[in-house]
Amino acid sequence: MVDGTVVPRMHTLITTAFVACLVAGCSGNAGTATPMAGGPAAAAKAPGVAKRFVFITNGDDPFWDACLSGLEEGAKRFGCAAAGITVSRDVNNASAEGQIERLRQYATQPDVAGIALSVIQADNQAIVDEMKKLQAKGVKVITVDGDVNRELYREARSYYIGTDNVVGGRTLGTAAKALLDAKGLTSGGYVQFAGFTDNDNARSRMNGVKEAIGDRYVERDRMADEMDLQRARDNVRNATQNHKDLAALIGIWSYDAPAIADVVTESGSRDKYVIATFDAAPLAIGQMQKGNIDVMVVQNPFEMGVRTVRLLKAMVDDDEAVINEMFPRAGMPDGDVHTTGLRVVVPDRSSPVKDGLFDSQVVEFLTLPDFTAWLAKYHLTGS
């Protein structure tokens, strides 16, 4: 029997030892690098010292898996390992708080030399403040996919890599209009679905869709799900029940496509709607193969990842040649924006959406088999 007076001491020891083991058990790279006291700027410049690039997403979505593949590819192509640079992805919890906390945490870590983030709220002052603090410490900060409000906070990052979301929206709107016209409709409503309707990229895309789809078709709602997949489905259900003249369902964020396809399939109402969506999540590709999605405007998260690494490495190395190549219009309006192009994907050549509707300088037109072949080439399941 254990003596009663000994038990408290044992508990103290057990608690201490257990927590210590727990923390030690979570150690990632113990003993593999030397300590640095010079801060990120010093770390970024010092040759042979381990450095890190961190990519912070806006939330959790398969879209970012393709970006991660791109980051890995970029790390290979641009010799990060030889330069002592590791690249990692940090998945945010879809909140501004989450991004702020992550930025603060990385500010304490002297091996972080570059941060790329998809800003979750373009107008959020706190996120901007943390980005500026990182810059002041010598960390290179760029935005990818989701930018800050460029009118107010452009200086919070050096560059933006991603889609021109207004052009992307216009492209999707053009495709949706062609599909609606092909159905013989002259009027009707449509609803747009996204994670947040006042996120910069969502807002730009929706405005682009509205602009291109024209006045004959009326935007009935913009519905936000805050990146909750179940809520995304509920939004589609509510939209189809609330708006009797609905003719098109527009998915703005990647998971909206399978959400829309699932709901119209379960309700047996596929034929009633034109379904036009952004991105090519793995589930969305499957749904297009089944005939449940009419057109996808696909960004290139893989290439965003590759170019993120290229740019951050060039910034850390002060490689002006690469930076000038990526941003040939530097100093001009939006000269700090690098777009990664768009693809319009249709099920097959019989689609009413035709190549000639789009500017070939900006948009690559593909059928689904061609697109899946490209995915297979890079071992991707979605884009």
DSSP-based helix, strand, coil % in the chain, nearest 5: 45, 20, 35
Residue 291 one-letter amino acid:
G
**Token match 């050096």: residue?**
158
Count residues near another protein (CB under 8 A).
67
Nearest of 291, 292, 286, 285 to residue 343 by alpha carbon: 285
**Per-residue contact flags (x/-) with another protein for residues 115 to 144, judged by CB under 8 A:** ------x-xxxxx-x---------------
Asked if 25 is part of the footprint of another protein (rule: CB under 8 A), the reply reads: yes
CB neighbours (10 Å) of residue 198?
A: 12
Judged by beta carbon, residue 124 or residue 381, the one nearer another protein is: 124
For the segment 172-191, give every residue that binds another protein (CB under 8 A): none
* Cα gap 205→168, rounded to integer Å: 6
3-state secondary structure of 197: coil
Check if the beta carbon of residue 249 is closer than 8 Å to that of residue 191: yes
Asked if 211 is part of the footprint of another protein (rule: CB under 8 A), the reply reads: no
The piece of 7-15, 288-296, 316-324, 341-349 that touches another protein (CB under 8 A) is 7-15
Estimate to the nearest angstrom the gap between the alpha carbon of 45 and the chain centroid: 29
Instruction: State which of residues 33, 81, 330, 376 lies at the interface with another protein (CB under 8 A).
Output: 33
Judged by beta carbon, residue 57 or residue 240, the one nearer another protein is: 57
Asked if 82 is part of the footprint of another protein (rule: CB under 8 A), the reply reads: no
Asked if 111 is part of the footprint of another protein (rule: CB under 8 A), the reply reads: yes
| Shortest Å, Cβ 102 to another protein | 8
Asked if 39 is part of the footprint of another protein (rule: CB under 8 A), the reply reads: yes
Instruction: State which of residues 113, 224, 274, 288 lies at the interface with another protein (CB under 8 A).
Output: 224
In angstroms, the Cα distances linking 361 to 144, 344, 364 are 21, 13, 8
* Paired sense of beta strands 140-144 and 188-194, if any: unpaired
Host H or E run for residue 129: helix 125-136
Sheet holding 342-346, edge to edge: 217-224, 188-194, 246-251, 274-278, 295-298, 342-346, 363-367
Judged by beta carbon, residue 94 or residue 274, the one nearer another protein is: 94
Estimate to the nearest angstrom the gap between the alpha carbon of 192 and the chain centroid: 18
Judged by beta carbon, residue 32 or residue 186, the one nearer another protein is: 32
Nearest of 208, 218, 219, 217 to residue 178 by alpha carbon: 217
Instruction: State which of residues 83, 135, 181, 197 lies at the interface with another protein (CB under 8 A).
Output: 197
Instruction: State which of residues 46, 54, 65, 144 lies at the interface with another protein (CB under 8 A).
Output: 54
* Cα gap 65→78, rounded to integer Å: 20
Q: List b or e across 278-312, with b for residues whose CB sees 16 or more CB atoms inside 10 angstroms.
A: bbbbbbbbebbeeebbbbbbbbbbbbbbbbbbbbb
| Shortest Å, Cβ 226 to another protein | 4
Instruction: State which of residues 46, 50, 322, 357 lies at the interface with another protein (CB under 8 A).
Output: 50
The piece of 162-170, 196-204, 303-311, 337-345 that touches another protein (CB under 8 A) is 196-204
Asked if 91 is part of the footprint of another protein (rule: CB under 8 A), the reply reads: yes
The piece of 95-103, 156-164, 266-274, 319-327 that touches another protein (CB under 8 A) is 95-103
Asked if 196 is part of the footprint of another protein (rule: CB under 8 A), the reply reads: yes
For the segment 58-77, give every residue that binds another protein (CB under 8 A): none
Judged by beta carbon, residue 145 or residue 164, the one nearer another protein is: 145
Which residues bind to another protein, rule: CB under 8 A?
1-4, 7-8, 10-12, 14-20, 22-37, 39, 50, 52, 54, 88-91, 93-98, 100-101, 104-105, 107-111, 121, 123-127, 129, 196-198, 224, 226
